[in-house]
């Protein structure tokens, strides 16, 4: 089999591995990570020192340790304390916690970037702090946080390749299996890299389109 024929034959399995493994894993982890990040961000800006302290520690631990180590602790380490988690849930938990740590600071900064007058305006028309946050502050903060959060998601798509190390069947895992069978490691890994690049290029284009759309509603 020629190298070109190998590339053609392996393209669909790799691409399908990305569509059914990499992208769903990234989406699920990012969605859950955003929920965690919002909670941590609100704790971080809270006047309650205990809640703020817990958030600080969480962010410090997540940002101060490698994602691979976090992944291994959950999948390989938890069984030692009697908790066994399957590969897919382990990957989602690890990636979600990681996204939560990084995205929390993005969301916190976005919330703080909203002028304090917006809070006062909400209180003036009789809104509660919770209603003011959800109806006035978060929508404005969301526009500010779109670019950095989009970059976080794109990075997550690439980071999902680490899930292959805990036996999750995603695109890089498929690439490893094909490379091991064909013994053409360079060809297959370069092909996988190109597909990752295509995915990220499409996501970057979507990010640019979303930013332009949101920019229409921002006063200059």
Question: Per residue in 151-192, pLDDT tens?
Answer: 999 999 999 999 999 989 899 999 999 999 888 899 999 999
pTM: 0.90
Q: Is the pLDDT of residue 214 over 80?
A: no
pLDDT of residue 219: 46
| Percent of the chain with pLDDT strictly greater than 70 | 96
Task: Please say if the pLDDT value at position 127 is more than 90.
Answer: no
Gap between the Cα atoms of 180 and 89, Å rounded: 26
Does 215 have pLDDT greater than 70?
A: no
Euclidean distance between the first and the last CA atom of the chain, given in angstroms as a whole number: 59
Could you tell me which residues come within 8 angstroms of residue 150 by beta carbon, excluding any fewer than 6 positions away? 203, 204, 207, 210, 211
User: What letters, b where the CB count within 10 A reaches 16 and e where it falls short, cover 1-21?
Assistant: eeeeebbeebeeebbebbeeb
Tell whether the model's pLDDT for residue 217 goes beyond 70: no
Q: What is the pLDDT of residue 76?
A: 95
Lowest average pLDDT, out of 1-5, 49-53, 109-113, goes to 1-5
Cα-trace Rg, the chain: 21
């Amino acid at each position: 089999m020629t190298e070109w024929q190998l590339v053609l034959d392996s393209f669909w399995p790799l691409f399908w591995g990305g569509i059914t493994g990499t992208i769903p894993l990234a989406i699920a982890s990012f969605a859950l990570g955003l929920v965690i990040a919002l909670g941590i961000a609100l704790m971080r800006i809270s006047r309650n020192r205990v809640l703020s302290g817990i958030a600080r520690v969480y962010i410090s631990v997540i940002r101060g340790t490698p994602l691979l180590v976090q992944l291994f602790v959950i999948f390989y380490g938890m069984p030692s304390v009697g908790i066994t988690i399957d590969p897919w849930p382990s990957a989602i938990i690890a990636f979600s916690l990681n996204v939560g740590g990084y995205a929390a600071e993005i969301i916190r900064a976005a919330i703080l970037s909203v002028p304090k007058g917006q809070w006062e305006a909400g209180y003036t028309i009789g809104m509660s702090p919770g209603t003011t946050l959800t109806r006035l502050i978060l929508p404005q903060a969301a526009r500010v946080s779109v670019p950095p959060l989009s970059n976080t998601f794109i990075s997550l798509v690439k980071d999902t390749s680490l899930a292959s190390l805990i036996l999750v069947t995603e695109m890089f895992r498929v690439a490893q299996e094909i490379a091991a069978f064909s013994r053409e490691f360079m060809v297959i890994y370069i092909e996988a890299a190109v597909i990752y690049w295509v995915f990220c290029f499409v996501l970057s284009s979507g990010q640019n389109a979303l930013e332009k759309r949101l920019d229409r509603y921002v006063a200059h």
